[in-house]
Chains A and B, each alone.
Chain A
Amino acid sequence: MTTRTLPLSLLISLLGLAAGCGGSHHGRTLPGGETASLPLLPWQAGRPRAPTIESPLVALVGGTVMTAAGQVIPNGVVVFEDGLIVAVGSADDIAIPDGATVMDAHGRFVTPGVIDTHSHMGVYPVPGLSAHDDGNEATDPVTPQVRAIDSFWPQDPSLARAIAAGVTTIEVLPGSANLIGGAGEIFHMHLGRTATEMEFPGAPDTMKMACGENPKRVYGERHTFPSTRMGNMAGYRIAFQHAAEYGTAWAHWQEERQAWQGNQDRWESAHGEQLQSIDAGRDAASSEDDAEDPGPAPAPPARDFGLELLLGAIEGRVMVQMHCYRADEMARMIEISHEFGFRIRSFHHAVEAYKIRDLLAAEDISISTWADWWGFKAEAFDAIPENLALLTQAGVRGVVHSDSEMLVQRLPQEAAKAMTAGREHGIEVTEDQALRWLTANPAWTLGLDDRLGTLEVGRIADVVVWSGSPFSVYTHADLVYVDGILEHDRARDGAAPITDFEVGLDLEPEGPVPPSPTTAGGAR
């Protein structure tokens, strides 16, 4: 399909060089071919990479510990400090460290924090005002250059509700109006003043794509491309072809740059210490016969942020999150991914995934879906509640996602429904497996499974203490730790913390009261 001569890491290091040096490259030394710097886009350079977390030493003692890694430990202990889990096991085996804050979890359940792979919180916040419609850049069906983080409003009240429901990590995606909606962003659920304060440090890049009814409806109603499913598919191919050609253009530039550098080196070598004067005026060197003046370095191609995201998908650095309902469309998207050499990390919604579960297992694509949403649109008509159970049975990583600021508050209930639906039809789904739909599998979907999703030593201390079984409708999240920091304490905070938006909305719930000297308003 496309031909490339260099690994992307080198290409990008050249990009960085190109961006850094505007004029003459005389006298500069190019980096070696083994350069392995991370492929940073300009906005990535400033991202927090290795934060130092200082969180207290906490021991959760006596609860039923569900690790999402195969273990359910009655009377268990989880210990964490400075953001990381340091011990997990039975109370019989784990000594409580001196100085630990001991939280009694008897009668309660302890699990990893819930991870939602599909959220529009912050980009479609509540209240649903026209001023808040920031989730779809629906002016062009292909907008890989836009980033969800740039729309994200950290004062969305939904965020606080989600934390109070045990959600510790979310992937916020652009909407599904576009074939390629833009870059998603992964947030760690510490409420903050800015999007950057909530950004998950070091999380992989993600890209939202959408197939099916939404793009063709949005653009079809305007009588513009695409208005059909074949238009959708053509749109992906065109976009990825551009990205591949973009990569080729940089590769060619890199070849030319290397060739130029060779000439430059020969020329410099031939001229030795005359270089300084050459730099000052070229005519002085023109009499040399064994090396030709290479002239100015070849100019790099124009940089295109959107194509770089697509190229990142081709290179496997960007996790492709693909909204797709129907089995036949998912299969077609897999074919397109093979044509262009990118991988689909997860199909989202994917209500017909059960029909092609063998294919999905072979492709190692996770399925982010609901327990039982169905029928609200034609492409959701064949949804069945056993979807997740069948996928799990077939070895596909299932994920319970929300796509909803309401549903994100009860994801364990959704897992309970999907687990029960399978069991009622003789498909054994363990509670550990159902818990993985909420934790370990979404962590993999986001490329964070080495850091999140299970209660194991060394993992990030995103931990929830539930008032009862997480699968009971009557259960609440009592304690929610993110990076080992207590972000929600139901006894302390009540139903949920509030964001700025909800401050001062109800200052007069009881009406006027008789004045007294101590209730006077005004300055202190």
Chain B
Amino acid sequence: MITTTKLALSLAIVFVALPASAQPRPRVVAPPLPVFAITGARLRTGDGPALENATVVVRGERIVSVGAGAAAPSGATVLDASGLTLTAGLISLMTPIGLAEIELESSTRDTGHEGDDADAIRAAFSAADGYNPLSVLIPVARLGGLTTALSVPDGGFIPGTSAWVDLAGRTPASVREPVAALHINFDDEGFTAEHGARSAAMLALRELFDDARLYARSRAQYDRGEFRDTDVSRLDLERVVMALNHEIPVVVRTARSTDIVRVIALAAEYGLALVLAGAEEGWMVAQEIADAHVPVIVEPLADLPTRFSAIHQRYDNAALLSSHGVDVMLMAPGAWDIRNLRQEAGNAVAAGMDWDAALRGVTSLPARVFGMDADYGSVAPGKLANLVLWSGDPFELTTAVRRVIVRGGELPLRSRQTELFERYRTLETTHRGYREDFAVHAAPSEPELVDEDD
């Protein structure tokens, strides 16, 4: 459904329209790029057995070579990774990472329109414009082995477009693809925003796509005020036109098996590059999804009939879809929780998914589906050096992250949480006010309920 070439071509067009800050900057004076080599690693690529004793050489931002037992180039900094496992950095999908600091505090949220009068459809809402690379959630995520994310707006029926970001950096330049995908909530939240019914939501989609299709060939009439009335803004229509032109994929969050089939049909009708997210009942229509070559994003741990729209969700959804040949990506549910993406992947494997498929589902597959695979998702020459070294199997929870490298630069294994830990590693040095022991009244030696006769 989505072809990489098409996306890559269209992305090139997108870049033209972007602010300069988002483009790779040519260096006026090119200093010699730093070179380092990771040696002795156990490299897992997601394509079969590990490459033992792997040497990965990185120059600047990019990987220049990968080989078993190769010597580090002379002059390269050597990172001895004996006993460690090396993977591409994990890629998080479907959370508002960088758009929300404290989920329950609206003043910290830039995830979408809020309030009762918020439009249900805000296709032009761009996560890239609000993304905060200094979010304290980002270093925490890195300690879960994540180097890259899709930052996704939420709320309403069409929350807007997501941004592809590197989980490092201090400026908006961390946003590597400002318009990565258009997102649609064809699920309970979206139905609520669209008058409470599936049919109303489907109607709204058809109106939107029809309007956008007409708009694409009627811009002049639109500007002269001779275009039919629409419920959305011009920029909303422009974004939808991008989707209609296959310039960006359309990620539809939907759960119920029949909704999945209808959305696949709708996408075919309008020629959309469809990606399904959630797809809790996907296992029931796995063959239909596979036949339509639609990739899906699944949360492996979702296994309960939490709502009637997902009454048949089960623990082995990812495994069943994968075994039908569906391209399955994996997700963790919330921005503060994305460090647990590897736990989700491990549970997918526990439920029967192939280990390599699970690793691909958090690395190379998201890169390919979102048209970023020229740079992301695998440990191969020419790719960006977004790398993680693990103490063991990345999916095991007794495994720890030992090094995180983003675009060839190593990041300290620190977060606000590790700083708090260090502050309280011992209580000897903490601020304690007046009290030497506890800043609380000491417990009475006897219960206060005394016998009157005593």
Contact for B421 among A340, A386, A476, CB less than 8 A = A386
A108 at the B interface (CB under 8 A): no
Report how far A382 CA is from B447 CA in the complex, Å: 34
- CB <8 Å contact, B105 and A378: yes
A390 at the B interface (CB under 8 A): yes
Per-position binary interface string of chain A over residues 403-414, scored 1 when its CB falls under 8 Å from any chain B CB and 0 otherwise: 001100110010
- CB <8 Å contact, A474 and B102: no
Tell me the A225-271 residues at the B interface (CB within 8 Å).
Answer: 247
Per-position binary interface string of chain A over residues 72-98, scored 1 when its CB falls under 8 Å from any chain B CB and 0 otherwise: 000000000000000000000000000
Stretch from B69-77, B290-298, B308-316 forming part of the interface with A: B308-316
B-chain residues with CB within 8 Å of residue A335 when the two chains form the complex: 440-441
- CB <8 Å contact, B102 and A375: yes
- Residue in B104, B343, B424 whose Cβ sees the most chain A Cβ within 10 Å: B424
Minimum distance in angstroms from A340 CB to a CB of chain B = 8
B17 at the A interface (CB under 8 A): no
A384 at the B interface (CB under 8 A): yes
B26 at the A interface (CB under 8 A): no
B429 at the A interface (CB under 8 A): no
Report how far A359 CA is from B427 CA in the complex, Å: 11
A127 at the B interface (CB under 8 A): yes
A-chain residues with CB within 8 Å of residue B420 when the two chains form the complex: 382, 384
- CB <8 Å contact, A334 and B417: no
Per-position binary interface string of chain B over residues 67-96, scored 1 when its CB falls under 8 Å from any chain A CB and 0 otherwise: 000000000000000000000000000000
| A335-B441, A354-B424, A359-B438 given; A377·B350 CB < 8 A | no
B451 at the A interface (CB under 8 A): yes
B196 at the A interface (CB under 8 A): no
Minimal Cβ-Cβ distance residue in A for B108: A378
Q: Total A-B residue pairs with C-beta atoms closer than 8 Å?
A: 158
- CB <8 Å contact, A161 and B339: no
Minimum distance in angstroms from A508 CB to a CB of chain B = 11
B-chain residues with CB within 8 Å of residue A331 when the two chains form the complex: 438-440
- Residue in B340, B440, B443 whose Cβ sees the most chain A Cβ within 10 Å: B440
Minimal Cβ-Cβ distance residue in B for A420: B398
Minimum distance in angstroms from B300 CB to a CB of chain A = 11
A-chain residues with CB within 8 Å of residue B101 when the two chains form the complex: 375
Per-position binary interface string of chain A over residues 492-503, scored 1 when its CB falls under 8 Å from any chain B CB and 0 otherwise: 000100000110
A419 at the B interface (CB under 8 A): yes
Per-position binary interface string of chain A over residues 1-14, scored 1 when its CB falls under 8 Å from any chain B CB and 0 otherwise: 11111000000000
- CB <8 Å contact, B305 and A127: yes
B306 at the A interface (CB under 8 A): yes
Contact for A474 among B312, B350, B443, CB less than 8 A = B350
Report how far A331 CA is from B425 CA in the complex, Å: 19
Minimum distance in angstroms from A10 CB to a CB of chain B = 13
- CB <8 Å contact, B304 and A161: yes
A-chain residues with CB within 8 Å of residue B450 when the two chains form the complex: 3-4
Tell me the B296-330 residues at the A interface (CB within 8 Å).
Answer: 301-308, 311-312, 314-316
Q: How large is the interface on A (under 10, 10 to 19, 20 to 34, 35 or more residues)?
A: 35 or more
B452 at the A interface (CB under 8 A): yes
- CB <8 Å contact, A473 and B103: no
Minimum distance in angstroms from B219 CB to a CB of chain A = 44
Minimum distance in angstroms from A400 CB to a CB of chain B = 12
Minimum distance in angstroms from A366 CB to a CB of chain B = 16
Minimal Cβ-Cβ distance residue in B for A340: B448
- CB <8 Å contact, A417 and B305: no
Minimum distance in angstroms from A274 CB to a CB of chain B = 35
Report how far A9 CA is from B246 CA in the complex, Å: 77
Contact for B311 among A378, A413, A505, CB less than 8 A = A505
Minimum distance in angstroms from A393 CB to a CB of chain B = 10
| A1-B448, A157-B305 given; A390·B397 CB < 8 A | no
- CB <8 Å contact, A390 and B443: no
B382 at the A interface (CB under 8 A): no
| A5-B452, A385-B417 given; A376·B424 CB < 8 A | no
Report how far A323 CA is from B304 CA in the complex, Å: 26
- CB <8 Å contact, B449 and A376: no
- CB <8 Å contact, B417 and A374: yes
- CB <8 Å contact, A357 and B427: yes
A512 at the B interface (CB under 8 A): no
- CB <8 Å contact, A5 and B443: no
- CB <8 Å contact, A406 and B395: no
B266 at the A interface (CB under 8 A): no
Minimum distance in angstroms from B319 CB to a CB of chain A = 11
| A127-B306, A359-B438, A416-B397 given; A384·B421 CB < 8 A | yes
Minimum distance in angstroms from B153 CB to a CB of chain A = 18
Minimum distance in angstroms from B162 CB to a CB of chain A = 21
B346 at the A interface (CB under 8 A): yes
A-chain residues with CB within 8 Å of residue B443 when the two chains form the complex: 338, 363
A-chain residues with CB within 8 Å of residue B102 when the two chains form the complex: 375-378, 381
Report how far A386 CA is from B311 CA in the complex, Å: 36
- CB <8 Å contact, B349 and A410: no
Minimum distance in angstroms from B346 CB to a CB of chain A = 3
B-chain residues with CB within 8 Å of residue A334 when the two chains form the complex: 440
Report how far A505 CA is from B311 CA in the complex, Å: 8
B5 at the A interface (CB under 8 A): no
Tell me the A1-35 residues at the B interface (CB within 8 Å).
Answer: 1-5
Minimal Cβ-Cβ distance residue in B for A315: B449
- CB <8 Å contact, A406 and B452: no
| A382-B420, A420-B397, A420-B398 given; A4·B103 CB < 8 A | no
- CB <8 Å contact, B350 and A475: yes
B60 at the A interface (CB under 8 A): no
- CB <8 Å contact, A338 and B334: no
Minimum distance in angstroms from B215 CB to a CB of chain A = 39
Minimum distance in angstroms from A163 CB to a CB of chain B = 14
A-B contact pairs, 18 of them (CB 8 A): A126-B304, A127-B308, A338-B441, A362-B438, A375-B103, A376-B102, A378-B102, A410-B301, A410-B343, A416-B397, A416-B398, A417-B343, A419-B398, A472-B397, A472-B398, A476-B350, A495-B316, A505-B312
Binding site for A on B (CB under 8 A): 101-105, 136-137, 140, 284, 301-308, 311-312, 314-316, 334, 336-337, 339-340, 343, 346-347, 349-350, 395-400, 417-418, 420-421, 424-425, 427, 430, 437-441, 443-444, 447-453
With A358-B427, A425-B421, A476-B350 given, can you name 4 additional A-B contacts, CB distance below 8 Å?
A2-B448, A341-B449, A384-B418, A420-B398
The 8 closest A-B pairs by CB, nearest first: A473-B346, A416-B397, A375-B336, A377-B104, A376-B103, A341-B448, A359-B438, A384-B417
